[in-house]
Structure 1
Amino acid sequence: MNGLHLTADLRGCRCELAWLTDADRLLAACVQRVQTSGLQAVAQLGHRFPDTLQGPGGVTATVLLAESHLCVHTWPESRSVSLDVYVCNFGTDHSARAEQLMTALLALFEPDEALRRAVERGAAPPA
């Protein structure tokens, strides 16, 4: 169960608006970046939310990985994104691949601000 869980909360994303509103386009980009990072996609799902009075609806893109998952949520009205990359490190340490994937996603969205967090999961508590 040992693994690395990376998250990032992005604000002021300067990317094309389509990356925040087009579920199919975002999902394809996510799968491509997963493959480039050396992780293995086993399933994927994208969903576009309805437009609101504040503007176009956001999207959620999820890629199920053999190693765990990637999930992206967008809020186009505030040009914000949340990223979630989790990899299990059972048998092989996938941490560097997770970091590479996160870096590629940050480059895609071009945020003015990125609050990043990393949590080591599943480690035995200190005795």
Structure 2
Amino acid sequence: MHGLHLTADLHDCRCAARWLVDASLLGAACRDAAQAAGLQVVGELLHTFAATRHGPGGVTAALLLAESHVCVHTWPERKAVTLDVYVCNFGADHSAKAQALMAELLALFEPRHAERHALQRGG
């Protein structure tokens, strides 16, 4: 149950708009980033929200990892994203892999401002 839980709230993202509205594209990028970090993707769920009077709908990409999960939620009308990366450290310490995955996702969205948090879980 010991693990590292990383979160980030991204503001004023300068990435191409497609990363905020295309669930399939975002899912593939998350999958590639997780695998590049050495994490094992075992499932995924992608969802595109309907457009509103404020603009195009955002997307959610949730990947189930053998080590735990990664979730990305976008708000294209605000150029905002929330990131959630959690890895269990049962049997091995995957903390560096979680940090690498988070860094890759931050680079993808190019935020002008990011509020980041790290929580060590499981006493």
After TM superposition, the score normalised by the length of structure 2 is 0.99
CA distance in structure 2 between the partners assigned to 1:119 and 1:33 by the alignment: 21
- Unaligned residue ranges in structure 2 (runs of 5+): none
What amino acid does structure 2 have at the position aligned with 1:59? V
Q: Which residue of 1 aligns with 2:10?
A: 10
Higher alpha-carbon Rg: 1
Counterparts of 1:91 and 1:120 in 2: how far apart (Å)? 16
Q: Give the whole-Å Cα distance in 1 for the aligned partners of 2:106 and 2:55.
A: 23
2:95 alignment counterpart: 95
2:32, 2:63 → 1: CA distance?
11
**Residue in 2 aligned with 1:29?**
29
Please give the alpha-carbon distance, in whole angstroms, between the structure 1 residues aligned to 2:14 and 2:48: 20
More strand by share: 2
TM-superposed CA distance for 1:85, in Å, is 0.1
Q: Deviations over 1:51-72 (max 9, x none)?
A: 0000000000011000000000
Letter in 2 for 1:84: D
Off by >3 Å, runs of 4+ in structure 1: none
Distance in 2 between the 1:91 and 1:37 partners? 17
Q: TM-score, normalised by structure 1?
A: 0.96
Equivalent residue number for residue 48 of structure 1: 48
Partner Cα distance (1:90, 1:43) in 2: 20
- Whichever residue aligns with residue 40 of structure 1, its letter is Q
CA distance in 2, matches of 1:5, 1:34: 15
Deviation at 1:12, TM superposition (A): 0.3
1:32 counterpart SS class: helix
Give the RMSD, CA atoms, in angstroms.
0.3
Instruction: Provide the residue aligned with 1:78 in structure 2.
Output: 78
SS in structure 1 of the partner of residue 5 of structure 2: strand
In the alignment, structure 1 segments of 5+ residues that lack a partner are none
How many corresponding residue pairs?
123
Instruction: Give the percent of matched residue pairs that are identical in Structure 1 and Structure 2.
Output: 63
